[in-house]
């Protein structure tokens, strides 16, 4: 049972990373490409946010080529919930990540997110969605 739960968590983590990786960036100093995903997808167990999960969660990784994360955060919302600012609360060799339990959006079938500054500069520009029905 634990193996199945870990497999689902790993799949969810990879999906969230791939959502960000699959999109372009409207900011010239920030990019995600498949080569950086492949090289950095192996994270040491001490860095691995999955090892610290006590309940079903989302993890969104964010990498900036300039390594300047100051002022960047996430705007997350579950359908039926108001959106709110969430800080990146962890870091690996890949970059920053946000790890939040799904209980923040109980009953939501989709979680929307975008990477942004408090001035609403988005990176990348379009909103992204995680369909929880697939998990």
Q: What is the pLDDT of residues 79-118, one digit of tens each?
A: 999 999 999 999 999 999 999 999 999 999 999 999 999 9
Taking 50 as the threshold, does the pLDDT of residue 134 lie above it?
yes
pLDDT range class, residue 49, cuts 50, 70, 90? low
* Residue 97 pLDDT: 96
Q: In whole angstroms, how far apart are CA 134 and each of 6, 8, 23, 25, 105?
A: 16, 10, 20, 26, 16
Tell me how far apart the alpha carbons of residues 27 and 65 are, in angstroms, rounded to a whole number: 11
- Classify residue 129 by its DSSP letter: E
Q: Enumerate the domain spans of the chain.
A: 2-134
The domain made up of 2-134 is a member of CATH 2.60.40.1110: yes
* Residue 48 pLDDT: 60
Tell me how far apart the alpha carbons of residues 75 and 3 are, in angstroms, rounded to a whole number: 31
């Amino acid at each position: 049972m634990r193996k199945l739960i870990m497999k689902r968590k790993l799949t969810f983590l990879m999906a969230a990373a791939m959502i960000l990786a699959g999109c372009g960036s409207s900011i010239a100093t920030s990019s995600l490409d498949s080569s950086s995903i492949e090289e950095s997808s192996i994270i040491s167990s001490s860095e691995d946010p999955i090892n610290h999960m006590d309940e079903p969660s989302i993890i969104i990784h964010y990498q900036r080529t300039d390594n300047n994360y100051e002022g960047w955060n996430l705007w997350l919302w579950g359908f039926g919930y108001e959106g709110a600012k969430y800080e990146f609360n962890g870091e690996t060799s890949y970059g920053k990540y946000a790890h939040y339990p799904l209980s923040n959006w109980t009953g939501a079938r989709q979680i929307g997110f975008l990477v942004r500054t408090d001035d609403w500069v988005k990176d990348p520009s379009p909103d992204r969605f995680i369909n929880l029905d697939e998990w």
